[in-house]
Structure 1
C-alpha cells in the first residue's frame, strides 16, 4: 500500500496521439490527460493521485461532477481517455492561489489536508474482519510506493528481484519467541497496532494455520536467535478479491504466498528473502526476474496474465521490485522497494480493493 500525498510537481507535457484538444501531463512516469494549452513543460501544478477522495466543492471547481468513481462519485481512479491511460488529476486549485508551487515541490509539501482530500479505505467483508486486540509489538509493514511516481528509486544495473504482485489481502504473522505468542493482522489493522483474535472462520487465521506458519516462524526464531519473526504474505482466492487465481477461498483453504520475512535480532530488524531461509519452506509469490534493473523490462513485466494458477486465469495485478540486498533508498526514506500496477488492472470493471 502506498501513502497518499497531494504534492506540487514539475510537469512534462506530451502530445496526446488521439485527441487534438487534449495533452498528457507527465509526473514521474504517471501521465494525466489535461486540456491542451493548460500547462507547459517545466511549469508546476498539483498532482492528486489515484485512490484520493475529493470533497464536493473541489470536484465542482475542477469540473468533475459525476465523472469520478465510487458510490458518491468522488474517488480518483485510473481511466482511459481517447485511448490513453490517465492516472490521477493535475490541477491548480483555487485554495492554493498565491502558493509558490515550485518551492512547495522542493520542500515536498503535502496539500491533502488543506484541500480536504483523504485516502479511500474500502469496506472489509466479514470473513476478513473480526474481534481485535491491542498489539503494540507487531513487526512493521513497509509502505510500497509506485515506481511510476518515483522512477529513480533504482539505478540501471542495480541487482533486483522482481516478483508478481498478487491481488489478495496482505497478512502478517508476528511470532514472539519469549512467550510463543502469535499476532495475526491485516495491513489496515496492523497500521492501527491491532491484531485479530483467532476465530475458526477468519480468513487470515485459516491461512496462517493451514500453511503451518507458526511452526516455521518458531524454527526460524530459534535458528537466527531472533526475539520476533514476521512472515508477510498475500492471502488470495475467490471471495477475497475480484481476482481469484483459480481458488475458491470460500469453500477451500485460501491461497497463500509469502513475499517478505523479517527477524528482530538483538533489536535490529533484518529483512530476509523468503526464498532463501535457513529453515523450512514457504509458498512464495512468483519470481519473474532476478538480475540487473532495467526500467523498460520491469514496466513490461507488470503487464500480461497471472502466473500463480499456471494457466493465466486472468490479468496480472502488477509486480514488486526490490534490491536483492535490502539497500536503503534516500528517495523513499527506507528500503529500496517499489511496485508497478498493470494498465489492465487499473482500468478493469467491478474491481475490489479490500485491505
Structure 2
C-alpha cells in the first residue's frame, strides 16, 4: 500500500467525454470526477487519495453520506462515473478555508491529521495470522508509491524493468547468516517488528517451507557475503484473495513468487537491481513475471498495467497492475527513497466482490 498523504495540488481540468455536468480534475496522472465548474485549471485544491477513511463530519460536508465504500461508507475507493475512472477526491474543506493552498502545495504540507483522515488497514484472516514474537532484526519492506501520484520518478528513456503486480499477501523472510536464523512475517506485522512463530498451519510458513525459500536466502548470503538477507514474495492462491491464479492455498503448497531481495553487507543494506535479482533467482525460486525491460515510457507503463494476468498461464483474471523500477538501483529525489513505483489497473480497482486482505 502507498503512504497516505492528503495534500494541496495544482489541478488540470479536462472535459468529461460522457457527461455535460461533470469534468475530470487531474492530479499527477490521477483523474477524479468533479462537478462542472467547481474548479479551474491552475487552481489549487485538496486531494484525498484512495484508501483514505474520512470522518463523518467531512463526509457530510462533501455531500458524500452513504456514497463511499466500506461497511461504514467512509472509505475512498476508485469508481467509474459515466464510464470514466475516478480515483480519489478533489475538494476544499471548510477547515482549510484560511489556508494558502498554493503555499501548502509548494511546501508539501500534509492535512490528513488536521482533517481527521486515516489510512484504511485491511483485515487479516485467521489463516494469515498466528502467534508472534519480537523481531528487531527483520529486514524492512517499504510502501511503494503510485506512479500516478508521482509521475516524475523516472525520466523518459531511462532503462527500467516493469514487473506484474500480483494480488496476494506479502511474505517477508529474513535470514540471519550468523546462526542461520529464519524469521517470517507479513507486511503489516513486519512494520511492527513482529515475526510469526513457525506453525505448519500458517500460510506464510507453509509458503516459504514449501518453496525452500530459506535455502535460497542462505545461498544468497554465502555468495554475496551478507550478514542478513531479506526475500520478499507474494503468497497467492484460492483462499488468499479473490484472484487465485489457478493455485489453491488451502491444499498443498500455496502459490509464491519473489518480487524483491535486500541484503545487508558490511553494515550497509541495499536492494538487488532487476538484473542481479534475475541471476540470483536462477536457483528456480518462482519470481513475478517481467513484462518489459527497456526505455521508460509513461504511456506504455499505463498500458501494461491493464489487461489479463500472466501468472496462471491462461489469463484467468484481470491484471492487478505493475511495478516499475530503475534497472540500475538508484535513489529518487521525488520519493526520497528507492526509484520504484506502482500502477494499479482500473479494472482491478473497480471490480466487484474483490478482497483486500493484508
Give the TM-score of the pair, scaled to structure 1: 0.99
Q: Which residue of 2 aligns with 1:80?
A: 80
Name the SS for the 2:24 alignment partner.
strand
Q: Which residue of 2 aligns with 1:67?
A: 67
Q: Are residue 31 (structure 1) and residue 34 (structure 2) matched? A: no
Q: Which residue of 2 aligns with 1:216?
A: 216
Q: Which residue of 2 aligns with 1:52?
A: 52
Q: Are residue 292 (structure 1) and residue 303 (structure 2) matched? A: no
Determine the C-alpha separation between the residues in 2 that align with 1:159 and 1:172.
27
The question of whether the paired residues in 2 share the 8 Å contact of 1:175 and 1:217 is answered with yes
Determine the C-alpha separation between the residues in 2 that align with 1:220 and 1:276.
11
Name the SS for the 2:278 alignment partner.
coil
Determine the C-alpha separation between the residues in 1 that align with 2:281 and 2:135.
28
Name the SS for the 2:264 alignment partner.
strand
Determine the C-alpha separation between the residues in 1 that align with 2:311 and 2:35.
41
Q: Deviations over 1:248-307 (max 9, x none)?
A: 111221100001111100011121143121873321000000111111111000000010
Name the SS for the 1:288 alignment partner.
strand
Give the TM-score of the pair, scaled to structure 2: 0.98
Q: Are residue 313 (structure 1) and residue 313 (structure 2) matched? A: no
Determine the C-alpha separation between the residues in 2 that align with 1:351 and 1:104.
36
* Structure 2: stretches of 5+ with no match in the other structure: none
Aligned-CA RMSD value: 0.9
Matches within 5 A, 1:1-355: 1-272=1-272, 273=274, 274-277=277-280, 280-355=283-358
Name the SS for the 1:218 alignment partner.
helix
The question of whether the paired residues in 1 share the 8 Å contact of 2:18 and 2:83 is answered with yes
The question of whether the paired residues in 2 share the 8 Å contact of 1:220 and 1:279 is answered with no
Determine the C-alpha separation between the residues in 1 that align with 2:210 and 2:281.
21
Determine the C-alpha separation between the residues in 1 that align with 2:245 and 2:128.
18
**Structure 1: which 4+ aligned runs deviate by more than 6 Å?**
none
Alignment CA distance shift 1:278-1:59 (3 Å): closer
Determine the C-alpha separation between the residues in 1 that align with 2:225 and 2:128.
33
Determine the C-alpha separation between the residues in 1 that align with 2:88 and 2:76.
6
Name the SS for the 1:248 alignment partner.
coil
- 1:91 to partner: Cα distance: 0.2
The question of whether the paired residues in 2 share the 8 Å contact of 1:216 and 1:279 is answered with no
The question of whether the paired residues in 2 share the 8 Å contact of 1:275 and 1:282 is answered with no
- 1:327 to partner: Cα distance: 1.4
Determine the C-alpha separation between the residues in 2 that align with 1:331 and 1:252.
43
Determine the C-alpha separation between the residues in 1 that align with 2:344 and 2:311.
16
The count of residues paired between Structure 1 and Structure 2 equals 355
Determine the C-alpha separation between the residues in 2 that align with 1:9 and 1:276.
42
